[in-house]
Structure 1
Amino acid sequence: MVRQPSKKLRKNLFGGGAVVVLAALNAPAAVSFAEARYHAYKIAQPGYQRKYGSWRQVDVPSEYRVNAIHAALLRTGKVLLIAGSGNDQKKFDSGTFETVLWDPRNDTFKKIPTPEDFFCSGHAQLPDGRLLVAGGTARYEILDGQVRKAGGGMRVKNESPDKAVTLRKGTVFRSPSGVEYVSRFDVTVPRAKREFEVSYTGSGQMKPWRTKVTAAEARVFVEAREEGPQALTTEAAQYEIVGLEGADADNVYGLAQRLTTEKQDFQGIKGAYEFDPRAERYVPVAPMKDARWYPTLVTLDDGRVLAVSGLNDVGDVVPGDNEIYDPATRKWSRGPSRYFPTYPSLFLTKGGKLLYTGSNAGYGPADKGRAPGLWDLEKNTFTRLGGLTDPDQLETSSSVLLPPAQRQRLMVLGGGGVGESPKSTARTSIVDLSLADPSFRDGPALPQGTRYLSSVLMPDDTVFTTGGSRQYRGRGGSDVLKAQFYDPRTNGFTEAAEPTVGRNYHSEALLLPDGRVATFGSDPLFDDKDDTRLGTFEQRIEVFTPPALHRAGATRPVLGEGPEKVDGSGRVTFRTADADRIATARLMRPSAVTHTTDVEQRSVELGLTKGSDTVTVDVPKDRTLVPPGWYMLFVTDRDGTPSEAKWVRVG
């Protein structure tokens, strides 16, 4: 007979079994916890950091945490983090626009009054160290199925050559059938153009003067007063403006064709400002002619700034109407016409042409304006460049002018399909503009397909790449927690320490004057791998310290006293006790980055003359290589250890 265990024994066995079962159930979590602890231990070891570098999260007080949509390094060494409404409809509706100034030297923060919604604006460094910020958000998008009132673009005509007409927000336009639409923004229509025509008889006698008047035109977004199908139209019609009388009623009217309840895209603003890094405030300047949301601003060789693309005041991609800002007059003028999708990556190249790498941030048709090429601004001609692998996956790709700038080689890294495509590519590709017939050639592949990759030029001529995601806005938990260095000399990648914070859409990275790299932002659609929990904006700041700054016994070369401006011969001299160990010198333009677009950063090789206790650098005089402005001057020793930067003004 089999003896049964006692009640006490059965209880103990059951309890022990429960422990075994619970241990089995919790084994994956326990293993994961142990792995995380070991990983944290491993990456904290000096040997690991000397080889791969390290990451540190910045302690940001809660009142200074913002949705960093834009990041720009100022000539004071501080970083301007621009949120505007920060992709937050509630903040937009309440008029809550934010900017925070971060000083990485002591991790202090300051709130900056923000006069307009700079969410999805463009920016560029000006010659005097100010930052130009132009465009932003006038209206948030309304998705398909959520539009309740018919709306669209209204063309407002003015046939009077005697005066311009301003129609305030809320102006009513009435259709021939009596349906009324209300304007959502102010609009000013210039005077009509009056021209005098001269003609002659067959005998050569001049006929009496004839006057020709060409109506002026402006656009404004309108929305039906009431919901209902009566406001829908796809037929062209003329609309009277309620409240105008007499000659004004005859001369000023609206024209519209499509007023629908289809998706209504974001709409841009015309506002432009300079941020003064000394006064630490925004200063208004003349507005742009066109409203722009998602524009690229690129500095030209004479210090002026070209504004390209963006969504306009009715939510359409600006159809090639580009304009140029002159910092001397603080006004805009017409630029060469050419169409690009939004946030195109345009780089100033030797000789003054702009290279469009094909990188962009999205809006616009898939088959228009996406092919890379060289744009001659003076002739307004565009020469396409072939050879690019995965040319249908340039959206959300990263582009850089490889160091040093004199070699005129540009690189495209990663990217994805148009819109919410699940496609992503590991492709990198390089074009050498010094060749007689340049075309793209594949470089080494990234570890995986990556969109939203950040790429930062380093003082030792490498490119530090980090973050991104495999899918659109990190869907499926696809953030890439990897980093690596690309070395143009070996055409290869080497591994770097892994970041701890995921970065995808609306993220940025830039080089700091102390040689570290700071990363900001990220705006995932979802916060879980199953795409069931809506995403939250990433407000943490994480800073990468490169391996060279961890090397045992390594001391950084130090630049001492010296002028802040390059002299007329292109030279500048600094005192230093490290002259004998300094091997290279680079001028590095500070970043202004958003949406994986950073066309400001460049690294310029400098001539180097060493004395017993001085070092003199020679700056190229070619302003297509070195656009006027403030630069960080880094020197590195023979082991690749960089100095802290000195700020130097060129031009």
Structure 2
Amino acid sequence: MDMTFSASLLYHHLFLFFLLVLHAPPCPAAGGSWSVLLPSIGISAMHMQLLPNDRVVMYDRTDFGISNISLPNGKCRPNSTDCSAHSVEYDVGSNNIRPLMVLTNVWCSSGTLMRDGSLIQTGGWDDGYRRVRIYKSCGTCDWQEIPNGLNQQRWYATNQLLPDGRQIIIGGRQAFNYEFYPKKSANENSPSLPFLVQTNDPNVENNLYPFVFLNPDGNLFLFANNRAILWDYSKNQVLKTYPTMPGGQPRNYPSTGSAVLLPLRLKQGIADAVQVLVCGGAPKGAFVNANNGKFDGALDTCGRIKISDQNPQWVMETMPLARVMGDMLLLPNGQVLIINGASAGVAGWELGRNPVLSPVTYRPDNQIGSRFEVQNPSTKPRVYHSTAVLLRDGRVLVGGSNPHDKYVFTNVLYPSELSLEAFSPSYLDAGSSSLRPRIISPKTKTKIRYGRRVALTFSVTGPVDPNLVSVTMVSPSFNTHSFSMNQRLLVLDSGNSTKRVGKSTYKIGVTAPPSGNIAPAGNYLLFVVHKEIPSPGIWVRMQQ
């Protein structure tokens, strides 16, 4: 063989090798662990809300058929032969379930945790269209229902807690309007919202369960289909129209993606940047195709936009795993967890394929291209009607998955899933325990006033870097259909005030949020975070 040719060939191969190495995506390191908490809670957890007593209320729908858990004391719903429960309360501490009686159909409903810690849940289907339901957890409490508590039928609507303590209820199927609860007067109406008409695909919709976030200026950021606005709900006025997300692909139900308001870092009472991240979904035409037996691949893109900019633009990123029907949760250390879902199809009965078993974490502060990290997989598919919420101890509670119009456990691709799991992010690994803070004071259920200085005492057994300590506040969100309503995380202003006051004891002072625009009054989880490892949280209540 000609030596010149051989050397040239070797050089060519080496060049290709180094080119591949230089341009290959970084290999993400798996982390986190899974545990099954209960093999069955009796229902499929389609909706979830963490309460300030460390209990989680869950429910599916009253017309699923007989569930695997009976109502207590031989009770049955009025005018029904189904004496099984379709709602339960899960006690995190004791790992026990208590059946609850919900009277009307809560299928694809919405809700908000109010200032007093009660869950106000709205809408649903059929006899639940206009219902308002109240749940106050007291050990023996059950659902209370208000007939005709809503002006309009609300099915697939989104709720947001407002600075004045009310919640706004936006949209729903064929409901291109909004209303408030509680109402200020009996004749309060439901103003139309043209944005919901403009984003509605008449064949598919793709604008149900719109993504809604309270902006620090008191207005609302609304995202539906592939578009977004900043909206003054008090005047029903669009203040800003954002660019369409590049690619123009739909991101809302049934092309179900998810979204979060990225952590708000407060400095002297001001959030330094307000950013929204929207990830996943299904391409145009996917719903029609899935109904005809063709399951399109899910979207693998995320769009990130700084809504506080004068001229905001979307920045697109690529996830390591395409995902539709995934949930996005803010972890106490400011990372985003993307969990549940499928890699093909859309939301709907029998319309999803190829479950995505591995969660992914997203680090907002990393450079683009190094933000995603694949985590260890579960063994349980969590597709349509699956849920996830953050718990006070830092774990993520995962339940649900019922892609059928009844409970179906055999002879299907994905049986109805009644189990409850916990995903423990890598910050809960045993190897990190010496770096994990423990809050000594204040005690849980402490009341915090806007703008006041708050002193925290915490312990850490290992070495502490004072520059890597922060305090975060996380609101407990209402989770259903891949969106966590009312979810927000605040990084409180500490001014690098961490000081050692004992052998393994430290103090840090932080300034509470300045107003209800930043943090609506109510219950929050407070964490001390050290080297990205959060303490177990404590409950605090923001108030005037």
TM bucket normalised to smaller: 0.7 to 0.9
Deviations 1:496-522 (A, max 9, x none): 111211112111111110001111111
In structure 2, what is the Cα distance between the partners aligned to 1:288 and 1:458?
A: 33
Q: Identify if the C-alpha distance between structure 1 residues 569 and 371 changes in structure 2 by more than 3 Å, giving closer, same or farther.
A: closer
Residue of structure 2 equivalent to 1:5: none
In structure 2, what is the Cα distance between the partners aligned to 1:78 and 1:310?
A: 28
Q: How does 1:20-99 map to 2 (within 5 A)?
A: 52-60=31-39, 62=40, 64-85=41-62, 87-88=64-65, 94=81, 98-99=86-87
Q: Identify if the C-alpha distance between structure 1 residues 648 and 581 changes in structure 2 by more than 3 Å, giving closer, same or farther.
A: farther
Match of residue 562, structure 1, among 442, 445, 449: 442
- Partner SS for 2:520: coil
In structure 1, what is the Cα distance between the partners aligned to 2:421 and 2:234?
A: 42
Match of residue 381, structure 1, among 237, 240, 252: 237
Match of residue 446, structure 1, among 315, 319, 322: 319
Residue of structure 2 equivalent to 1:295: 157
Percent identity reads 25
Which one is further off, 515-524 or 81-90?
A: 81-90
Contact 1:289 1:332 in 2 (8 A): no
Deviations 1:5-49 (A, max 9, x none): xxxxxxxxxxxxxxxxxxxxxxxxxxxxxxxxxxxxxxxxxxxxx
Q: How does 1:98-497 map to 2 (within 5 A)?
A: 98-138=86-126, 269-278=129-138, 280-285=141-146, 287-311=149-173, 317-320=174-177, 322-326=178-182, 333-339=188-194, 340=196, 341-358=207-224, 371-382=227-238, 383-394=240-251, 395-404=255-264, 406=271, 407-416=273-282, 417=284, 419-421=287-289, 422-423=295-296, 424-443=298-317, 445-469=318-342, 470-473=344-347, 475=351, 477-490=353-366, 491=368, 492-497=371-376
In structure 2, what is the Cα distance between the partners aligned to 1:498 and 1:133?
A: 32
Give the number of equivalent residue pairs: 450
- Alpha-carbon shift at residue 88 of structure 1 (Å): 4.4
Match of residue 593, structure 1, among 455, 464, 479: 479
Contact 1:525 1:534 in 2 (8 A): no
Q: Identify if the C-alpha distance between structure 1 residues 552 and 332 changes in structure 2 by more than 3 Å, giving closer, same or farther.
A: farther
Contact 2:474 2:488 in 1 (8 A): yes
The yes-or-no answer on 1:499 pairing with 2:378 is: yes
Deviations 1:83-119 (A, max 9, x none): 2326449999745552111122231111122232222
Deviations 1:515-564 (A, max 9, x none): 0111111123599xxx9837532111121111121142623211123251
Residue of structure 1 equivalent to 2:8: none
Q: Identify if the C-alpha distance between structure 1 residues 576 and 482 changes in structure 2 by more than 3 Å, giving closer, same or farther.
A: closer
In structure 2, what is the Cα distance between the partners aligned to 1:426 and 1:632?
A: 31
In structure 1, what is the Cα distance between the partners aligned to 2:209 and 2:395?
A: 26
Aligned-partner residue type, residue 383 of structure 2: N
In structure 1, what is the Cα distance between the partners aligned to 2:352 and 2:338?
A: 22
In structure 2, what is the Cα distance between the partners aligned to 1:593 and 1:514?
A: 18
- Partner SS for 1:573: strand
In structure 2, what is the Cα distance between the partners aligned to 1:56 and 1:87?
A: 27
- Alpha-carbon shift at residue 633 of structure 1 (Å): 0.1
- Alpha-carbon shift at residue 477 of structure 1 (Å): 4.0
- Alpha-carbon shift at residue 306 of structure 1 (Å): 0.6
- Alpha-carbon shift at residue 68 of structure 1 (Å): 1.3
Residue of structure 2 equivalent to 1:533: 412
In structure 2, what is the Cα distance between the partners aligned to 1:481 and 1:332?
A: 49
The yes-or-no answer on 1:606 pairing with 2:498 is: no
Residue of structure 1 equivalent to 2:514: 621
Aligned-partner residue type, residue 466 of structure 1: I
Q: Identify if the C-alpha distance between structure 1 residues 448 and 559 changes in structure 2 by more than 3 Å, giving closer, same or farther.
A: closer
- Partner SS for 1:626: coil
In structure 1, what is the Cα distance between the partners aligned to 2:189 and 2:520?
A: 21
Q: Identify if the C-alpha distance between structure 1 residues 299 and 476 changes in structure 2 by more than 3 Å, giving closer, same or farther.
A: closer
Deviations 1:607-651 (A, max 9, x none): 2244525433311213222111100001111x2211000100012
In structure 2, what is the Cα distance between the partners aligned to 1:568 and 1:300?
A: 16
Contact 1:526 1:536 in 2 (8 A): no
In structure 1, what is the Cα distance between the partners aligned to 2:36 and 2:63?
A: 21
- Partner SS for 1:270: coil
Q: Identify if the C-alpha distance between structure 1 residues 624 and 569 changes in structure 2 by more than 3 Å, giving closer, same or farther.
A: closer
Contact 1:450 1:471 in 2 (8 A): no
- Alpha-carbon shift at residue 576 of structure 1 (Å): 2.8
TM-score normalized by structure 2? 0.76
- Partner SS for 2:528: strand
Q: Which has the higher contact order (CA 8 A, sep 6+)?
A: 2
TM-score normalized by structure 1? 0.64
Contact 1:514 1:645 in 2 (8 A): yes
- Partner SS for 2:373: strand
Contact 2:352 2:384 in 1 (8 A): no
In structure 1, what is the Cα distance between the partners aligned to 2:176 and 2:377?
A: 42
Q: Identify if the C-alpha distance between structure 1 residues 603 and 70 changes in structure 2 by more than 3 Å, giving closer, same or farther.
A: same
RMSD of equivalent CA atoms: 2.9
Q: Identify if the C-alpha distance between structure 1 residues 440 and 334 changes in structure 2 by more than 3 Å, giving closer, same or farther.
A: farther
- Alpha-carbon shift at residue 57 of structure 1 (Å): 1.2
Deviations 1:209-249 (A, max 9, x none): xxxxxxxxxxxxxxxxxxxxxxxxxxxxxxxxxxxxxxxxx
Q: Identify if the C-alpha distance between structure 1 residues 86 and 587 changes in structure 2 by more than 3 Å, giving closer, same or farther.
A: farther
Task: Give 5+ residue unaligned stretches, structure 1.
Answer: 1-49, 140-267, 312-316, 360-369
- Partner SS for 2:427: helix
- Alpha-carbon shift at residue 384 of structure 1 (Å): 2.5
Task: Give 5+ residue unaligned stretches, structure 2.
Answer: 1-28, 68-76, 197-206, 266-270, 290-294
Residue of structure 1 equivalent to 2:10: none
Contact 1:589 1:631 in 2 (8 A): yes
In structure 2, what is the Cα distance between the partners aligned to 1:68 and 1:283?
A: 20
Contact 2:328 2:483 in 1 (8 A): no
